[in-house]
């Protein structure tokens, strides 16, 4: 798939389909670079159809579909709003609610002029440990010079679903730690002091560093060593070996389960699914955070199987690449 001259994967449509003119609909904003994965997940094609429309990296659907894993943000109650002038567009948005984030697909200059007339929303980096914002943040985009598409409520409180953090480039041995910071911030929970965390695929030690810094007891497993200063942290034990070799029945009991199992192992998602199935059947771990790492092809069938595990969530973090993060927190 190649972007057209404006950088869009698919030509921008000329007319609004009936379902968008007639009422509210859903907008799925693709994770950056993963529009094809999003369309595949939704079972749609890029040419549009009677119940969907692709507009830049946004996919609008008639149904109130469940949020898709490859969507960075989901616009839950999108509607078409008249914006014959810049002032009218800004007023229409302000009448709906206070905070808005523009996502221009076309008419970037006109979009910027509307943004100037709205309350300022910053995409400032947050310090890890601060809670996710609670104020609703709507999303909007200009359809043409007379109309905009606005969604007052979205699944993410962050601009385009992308939290930013004040990074710690000194202490963390790899940027992988940002995936855990983002997960804990979105969930609103993290391992507490003394909780037992298994960290599979832990080298060079970004996740172990996060967990160790939180005061958890970390048992880390990788075929490769941890960076020495991470291995030297008092609450981190490292074992050279395979995360697939760990026996769930030996690691804990249903009465005294392991608190958290983390996996960032570079492995086929299908193999990880079998491993997690063993842990769930044994009932010896409470909470799970696992990265599903895809090769050139995205394994949608395995992603669906993870998403179907009761009580769990499958999402694309802003800090994921060609990966999804599966979480089960109980
Ligand atoms: C992306 S890195 C993990 C980064 C790590 N989470 C961090 O924060 O620094 C993937 C790791 O998976 C490890 N790995 C691959 N297969 C594994 C297996 N069967 N058991 C344990 N580790 C494995 C690799 O050695 C590699 O260190």
Domain boundary among 161, 193, 211: 161
Does ligand 1 have an atom closer than 6 angstroms to the CB of 152? no
Same domain, 185 and 95: no
Specify the pLDDT at position 221.
98
Same domain, 183 and 322: yes
Does ligand 1 have an atom closer than 6 angstroms to the CB of 242? yes
**Cα–Cα distance, 171 to 247 (Å, whole number):** 32
Does ligand 1 have an atom closer than 6 angstroms to the CB of 178? no
Q: Does residue 1 sit within a domain? A: no
Instruction: Give the number of residues written for the chain.
Output: 330
Specify the pLDDT at position 287.
98
Does ligand 1 have an atom closer than 6 angstroms to the CB of 202? yes
Same domain, 85 and 157: yes
Rounded to two decimals, what is the model's pTM?
0.96
Q: Does residue 117 sit within a domain? A: yes
What's the CA-to-centroid distance between 175 and ligand 1, angstroms? 13
Domain boundary among 135, 161, 187: 161
Specify the pLDDT at position 305.
98
pLDDT tens for the chain, 330 residues: list them.
555 556 788 888 889 999 999 999 999 999 999 999 999 999 998 888 889 999 999 999 997 767 899 999 999 999 999 999 999 999 999 999 999 999 999 999 999 999 999 999 988 999 999 999 999 999 999 999 999 999 999 999 999 999 999 999 999 999 999 999 999 999 999 999 999 999 999 999 999 999 999 999 999 999 999 999 999 999 999 999 999 999 999 999 999 999 999 999 999 999 999 999 999 999 999 999 999 999 999 999 999 999 999 999 999 999 999 999 999 999
What's the CA-to-centroid distance between 36 and ligand 1, angstroms? 27
Strand 258-263 and strand 196-200: the pairing is parallel
Specify the pLDDT at position 48.
84
Specify the pLDDT at position 14.
86
Specify the pLDDT at position 3.
58
Domain boundary among 134, 161, 188: 161
**Cα–Cα distance, 224 to 237 (Å, whole number):** 14
What's the CA-to-centroid distance between 202 and ligand 1, angstroms? 5
Does ligand 1 have an atom closer than 6 angstroms to the CB of 209? no
CATH code at 219?
3.40.50.150
User: Where do we find the tokens 């609909």?
Assistant: 25
Q: Relative to the CA of 208, which ligand 1 atom is closest?
A: 8
Same domain, 128 and 183: no
Does ligand 1 have an atom closer than 6 angstroms to the CB of 267? yes
Does ligand 1 have an atom closer than 6 angstroms to the CB of 68? no
Same domain, 155 and 201: no
Q: Relative to the CA of 205, which ligand 1 atom is closest?
A: 9
Q: Does residue 70 sit within a domain? A: yes
Does ligand 1 have an atom closer than 6 angstroms to the CB of 19? no
Per the structure, the count of domains in the chain is: 2
Specify the pLDDT at position 25.
95
What's the CA-to-centroid distance between 255 and ligand 1, angstroms? 29
Q: Does residue 87 sit within a domain? A: yes
**Cα–Cα distance, 226 to 264 (Å, whole number):** 14
Does ligand 1 have an atom closer than 6 angstroms to the CB of 205? yes
What's the CA-to-centroid distance between 173 and ligand 1, angstroms? 13
- Asked whether the beta carbons of 259 and 243 are under 8 A apart, the reply is no
Does ligand 1 have an atom closer than 6 angstroms to the CB of 199? no
Among residues 15, 215, 58, the alpha carbon closest in space to that of 129 is found at 215
Q: What is the domain extent for residue 121? A: 18-161
- Asked whether the beta carbons of 206 and 172 are under 8 A apart, the reply is yes
Does ligand 1 have an atom closer than 6 angstroms to the CB of 314? no
3-state secondary structure the chain: CCCCCCCCCCCCCCCCCHHHHHCCEEEEEECCCCHHHHHHHHCCCCCCECCEEEECCEEEECCCCCCCCCEEEEEEEEEEEECCCHHHHHHHHHHHCCCEEECCCCCHHHHHHHHHCCCCCCCCCECECECCCCCCCEEEEECCCCEEEEECCECCCCHHHCCCECCCCCCCCCCCHHHHHHHHHHHCCCCCCCCEEEEECCCCCHHHHHHHHCCCEEEEEECCCCCHHHHCCCCEEEEECCHHHCCHHHHCCCCCCEEEEEECCCCCHHHHHHHHHHHHHHCCEEEEEEEEECCCCCCHHHHHHHHCCCCCEEECCCCCCCEEEEEECC
User: Where do we find the tokens 């004040």?
Assistant: 166
Among residues 236, 187, 186, the alpha carbon closest in space to that of 210 is found at 236
Q: Does residue 133 sit within a domain? A: yes
């Amino acid at each position: 798939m190649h972007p057209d001259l404006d950088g869009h994967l698919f030509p921008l449509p000329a007319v609004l389909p009936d379902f968008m003119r007639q009422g509210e609909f859903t907008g799925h904003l693709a994770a950056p670079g993963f529009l094809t994965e999003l369309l595949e997940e939704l079972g749609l094609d890029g040419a549009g159809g009677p119940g969907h429309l692709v507009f830049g990296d946004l996919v609008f659907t008639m149904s109130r579909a469940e949020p898709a894993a490859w969507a960075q943000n989901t616009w839950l109650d999108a509607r078409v709003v008249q914006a014959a002038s810049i002032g009218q567009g800004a007023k229409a948005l302000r009448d709906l609610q206070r905070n808005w984030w523009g996502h221009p697909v076309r008419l970037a200059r006109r979009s910027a002029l509307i943004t100037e007339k709205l309350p300022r929303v910053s995409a400032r980096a947050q310090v890890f440990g601060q809670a996710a914002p609670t104020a609703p943040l709507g999303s909007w985009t200009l359809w043409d010079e007379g109309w905009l598409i606005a969604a007052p409520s979205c699944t993410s409180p962050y601009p385009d679903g992308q939290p930013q953090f004040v990074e710690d480039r000194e202490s963390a041995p790899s940027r992988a730690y940002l995936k855990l910071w983002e997960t804990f911030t979105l969930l609103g929970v993290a391992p507490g002091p003394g909780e037992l965390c298994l960290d599979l695929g832990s080298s060079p030690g970004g996740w172990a560093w996060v967990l160790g810094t939180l005061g958890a007891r970390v048992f880390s497993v990788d075929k490769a060593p941890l960076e020495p200063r991470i291995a030297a942290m008092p609450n981190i034990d490292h074992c050279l070996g395979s995360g697939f070799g760990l026996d769930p029945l030996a690691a804990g009991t249903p009465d005294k389960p392991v608190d958290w199992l983390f996996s960032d192992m570079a492995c086929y998602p299908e193999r990880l699914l079998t491993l997690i199935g063993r842990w769930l059947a044994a009932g010896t771990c409470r909470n799970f955070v696992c990265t599903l790492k895809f090769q050139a092809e995205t394994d949608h069938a395995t992603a669906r199987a993870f998403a179907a595990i009761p009580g769990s969530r499958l999402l694309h973090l802003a800090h994921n690449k060609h990966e999804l993060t599966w979480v089960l927190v109980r």
